[in-house]
Structure 1
C-alpha cells in the first residue's frame, strides 16, 4: 500500500529520565510493551500504512539502538547520529533533513502508542492533510480517555480542526499524541538545538496548526508505572 507520506522521522535519541530505572541499562525505545519494544510498535504501524523509509535519531546507548534496528527491512531504516550531543526534538529533525528529503514527512515520538479504534489513525491523519491550509497537522488525544496521562492537556481543538495551545493556568481537553505531519521548509532559519514547540507556536500564530482527534485509546507510556497500565489496557481490549 502506498501512502501520501512515505517518509517518517522517529525521535528516539532522548535519555528517558522519567523511565528510570528501566532506562538505566536500555534506551527507552527498547522497553517492551506487550512483548514488543516500543519502537517496533511504532515502526510496525508505519510499515502497515505504507511508509517506506524511517529516519531514527540515536544518542543514549546508541549502539543498542543500531543493533536492534540493523535487521529491520520495512520500513527501511536510516540512522541520524546524535552521539556528539542531543539537539532536542526540532534540532534532531533539522539535522536529519538531508535524509528525509524535500517532501512533507511524518514525525513520531518513539513512544507514540495507542489502541486503534475503528479508523486507522495514520491513514485518517494523512487523508485530512491539506497543504494549502496547513503547515503542521498533529494527532491529538482526548485526555479524559487516555491511559497514563495525568497532565492538564496541551491544546483546544475547534470545529474546523484548528489548534490553540492552553494558557498557563488553564486545562485543555486534548494532548499531543506524538505523531504529526510537517513541511520541511518550516525548519529554514532555525537553530541547531531547539524544540518542535517553536514550530508549533509559529504555525498556530499563522492559523496553520491543525489537529486530528485520535480514534481509539492513547497510551501515554512515560513512567515505569505506565508500562503496567498500558499492558493491562491492551489485555482488556483483546477480550472486549
Structure 2
C-alpha cells in the first residue's frame, strides 16, 4: 500500500511562521509535523509515500531526502505555484499512487492515531477517521452512524474529519460529473475540493468511518502549534 501526504497548502493563517517554511515542515517537539506521519506510515509497513507540494516546494526534498532514513521511497507531486486543493491534489498524484487503495493524511495535523487501525480491506470508496469536534470547528463535518457508515444529512451529532483516510482511486473517476465544469476545474491540472465527492459517495452509502478518541490537533494557527509543542514536551499548563 502507498500513502499520500497533503503538503501543498500556503499556510496563510500560520504567517509569519510560514513565510520561509512550509507548514508541514514546522517542528513540534523538535520534529517537523510531516516526519511524525512518515514515522507512523513506515511503522505500518508502507513503502512508498507521495507528498504533494506547492508553496516553498523545494524545501521538502531538501529536508526529507529520498525517504531512506525511514525505509521509505518518497515521491514529490509538484502542483505549481497555486495549490490544487484536496481533490485536485489527489487527482494530480494518482499516477504516482497507482490503482490500489491508499492512505491519505493532511500534512498539517498531529495525531497519535495508529494507522494499523484502518481497515485491511475497503468495501466502499473511502474510509475516514473522525474525531470529536474541536473548539474551532464545533459543528463538525459528517455523521457517523451505528453501522459504521458516514452521511451528511440528519440531525444526529456530527464529528470532525481528522484528515486521515483510506481511499480508492475510483472515488475520483467521475469527479467532473460532481464538481461541474467551472473555470477552475477547466484548468490543467484541475483545482477542486474533495468534500463534494465524499458527500456524493456518502449519498450512495459508499463512505465508511471510525472514531478516534485519542489525541488530535489541526495545527492551523501559531497558537495551536505552540500548545501542541508544549503538550508533547510535557510542559503544558
- The TM-score by the shorter chain falls in which range? 0.7 to 0.9
For residues 147-180 of structure 1, what are the alpha-carbon distances to aligned partners after superposition, in whole Å with 9 as ceiling and x for unaligned?
x74442112211111112367xx89441111111
Aligned to 2:93: 96
SS at match of 1:198: helix
Aligned to 1:27: 22
Q: CA deviation at 1:236?
A: 4.2
> TM-score by structure 2 length?
0.85
Aligned to 1:130: 122
Q: In the aligned structure 2, how far is the partner of 1:220 from the partner of 1:40?
A: 16
Q: Do 1:140 and 1:214's aligned partners in 2 also have CA atoms closer than 8 Å?
A: yes
Query: Are 2:180 and 1:184 aligned?
Result: no
Q: In the aligned structure 2, how far is the partner of 1:71 from the partner of 1:209?
A: 33
Q: Do 2:4 and 2:50's aligned partners in 1 also have CA atoms closer than 8 Å?
A: yes
For residues 180-199 of structure 1, what are the alpha-carbon distances to aligned partners after superposition, in whole Å with 9 as ceiling and x for unaligned?
11110121233521111022
SS at match of 1:62: coil
Query: Are 2:126 and 1:162 aligned?
Result: no
Q: Do 1:16 and 1:23's aligned partners in 2 also have CA atoms closer than 8 Å?
A: yes
Taking a change above 3 Å as real, the CA distance of residues 83 and 135 of structure 1, as seen in their structure-2 partners, is same
For residues 45-83 of structure 1, what are the alpha-carbon distances to aligned partners after superposition, in whole Å with 9 as ceiling and x for unaligned?
111111110001111011112211224213210011112
Q: In the aligned structure 2, how far is the partner of 1:160 from the partner of 1:236?
A: 38
For structure 1, the residue ranges without an aligned partner over 5 or more in a row are 1-5
Aligned to 2:11: 16
Question: How many residue pairs get matched?
Answer: 221
Q: Do 1:115 and 1:234's aligned partners in 2 also have CA atoms closer than 8 Å?
A: no
Q: In the aligned structure 2, how far is the partner of 1:84 from the partner of 1:34?
A: 30
Q: Do 1:11 and 1:108's aligned partners in 2 also have CA atoms closer than 8 Å?
A: yes
Q: Do 1:30 and 1:39's aligned partners in 2 also have CA atoms closer than 8 Å?
A: yes
Q: In the aligned structure 2, how far is the partner of 1:23 from the partner of 1:234?
A: 21
Query: Are 2:32 and 1:37 aligned?
Result: yes
SS at match of 2:163: strand
Aligned to 2:220: 222
Q: Which of 189, 209, 212 is the aligned partner of 1:211? A: 209
Taking a change above 3 Å as real, the CA distance of residues 21 and 103 of structure 1, as seen in their structure-2 partners, is same
SS at match of 2:36: helix
